Amino acid sequence: MKLDERHLIQLAAVVQAGGVTEGAALVGLSQPAVSRTLSMLEKRLGEPLFLKGRRPLQPTPLGRALADHGQVMLAASRKASDIVANFSQGRSGVVRVGGTPFFMDALISGMIADFQNAYPDVRVDQSYGYLSDLRAAINADRIDLAVCPIDLLEEGSGMEFREILPGRNVVACRSTHPLLLRRKLKTSDLLDYPWIAPPPGSPLLDDLRSLLLSLGATEIKIRYSGGSLTSAVNYMKQTDALTVLPHSVVFAFRKDKAITALPVAIPHPERALGLLRLADTPRAPAVDAFAKHIRQGFDNLKHLIKRHEQAVVWGA
């Protein structure tokens, strides 16, 4: 004999609630509809499902056995409903995000942690890359969005870019660097010290070349290159080496008081940090929730970063 699963779920709700009216409310049905279901089920089985004259309702052994099966189905139905609700509200799912290494390590990783404190059922898969790699990954559906600096997004690319922070580079050094003691620092003084070169493919490498041209130099003393942000900072802390970093990255290390920025004007890149993703395509709600969290995080940081720039870079 095949029984309708929906009937068993209604039976389980009535047993759980101890009454037809209360059980009907649990499954979102009317009391007459559930009463008809129970009456039809008893007729089909040829056995009563509840003991007569008992209040609250008490199931017979057969009623209890069937209700136990219905309870499993009811629990599974509720779990499925919760999954759908959480997914549609962006509270569950997977976010695949890629980004340029220095920004991801210095700023975005902490924001990911904050996001998951609020959305613990969302998994975040992070990867690294520069613009060309990130665009390819988005087009190939390997990532949902990228956090990266862009100077110009050509028309017809099929992408949308939303700025979250304007571009601003500084010359970074350890907080006890000799140049910080000079009353009048000249840009030509930068050529007296060794440099850390950004990794190959990094837009910061082009920025370093632009800085060289602005100083009228054809070469500088590169003593270290290709390292991660952590390795570059650790190297800088123990040497007099200089490097070009986004000011927001130096800002992220402000509490360590190990590195800082020199009070010297250098060429700024014509690009901004932002969120890159496909335009006019359906997105998982969790991805939208994550993107909103990142935008709000930078909205909260902008004035702090500006204040830090005025105090440390120009107020030194």
pLDDT tens-digit profile, the chain (316 residues): 788 889 999 999 999 999 999 999 988 999 999 999 999 999 999 999 999 888 889 999 999 999 999 999 988 888 887 777 777 778 899 999 999 999 999 999 999 999 999 999 999 999 999 999 999 999 999 999 999 999 877 777 899 999 999 888 899 999 999 999 988 888 889 999 999 999 888 889 888 888 888 888 878 889 999 889 999 999 999 999 999 999 999 999 988 889 999 988 887 777 899 999 999 888 899 999 999 999 999 999 988 888 887 776 655 4
Under CATH, what is the fold of the domain 93-166+271-311? D-Maltodextrin-Binding Protein; domain 2 (3.40.190)
How big is the chain, counted in residues?
316
Q: Does 93-166+271-311 match 5-89 at the fold level?
A: no
Angle between helices 285-308 and 109-118 (to 10 degrees): 130
Report helix angle 61-88 to 285-308, nearest 10. 40
Rg, the chain, Cα only: 31
Class for the domain spanning 169-261:
alpha beta
Quick one: fold of 5-89? Arc Repressor Mutant, subunit A (1.10.10)
Give me the residue spans of the domains in the chain: 5-89, 93-166+271-311, 169-261
pTM recorded for the entire structure: 0.74
3-state SS class at 256: coil
